[in-house]
Structure 1
């Protein structure tokens, strides 16, 4: 079972959350090209190792928050914390 650390509710089962993906900067609607919109909407790094992600606690406090997650081991930490031995 994977547990995620909700900043407001504490550790909860991952089934209570929805994954919103890696944070991305939204392009300016007035000046963005179609290629920039495609990149924003569809392309993510999908990196192996530690990454920052946005999650939504849909079955709890109904808030968005960010956390750091190791995509190999599924270890999750609050966004500001670092795991031992991680960059």
Structure 2
């Protein structure tokens, strides 16, 4: 499997580290209940088909990427910067949405 890094171009999977599910939303910590946070940390779906994941390009530019991948075929459907890198890319004329 190869991931097409927006900064470095196509690279081997061995240059990346899996960072988890990109669709998770952290619960509000102001709510004083353990159950929602425990579910956030431990409960995971195992989807079949297209899924958004976080990958860290540890062997290259070190950016975090949001990768949409089909979990059944391992086909990479899209790759985009995640977090601060996405904010910086959006600020560049012609690269934002």
What is residue 29 of structure 1 aligned with on the other side? 29
Report the alpha carbon displacement of residue 44 of structure 1 after superposing the two structures with TM: 2.0
Query: What is the alpha-carbon root mean square deviation over aligned residues?
Result: 1.5
Between Structure 1 and Structure 2, the one with more helix by share is 2
* TM-score normalized with structure 2 length: 0.73
* TM-score normalized with structure 1 length: 0.81
Structure 2 residue ranges without an equivalent (≥5): 81-97
Report the alpha carbon displacement of residue 15 of structure 1 after superposing the two structures with TM: 0.8
Give SS of 1:61's match: coil
Report the alpha carbon displacement of residue 36 of structure 1 after superposing the two structures with TM: 0.8
Structure 1 residue ranges without an equivalent (≥5): 81-87
Q: Which has the higher contact order (CA 8 A, sep 6+)?
A: 1
Moved over 4 A (4+): none
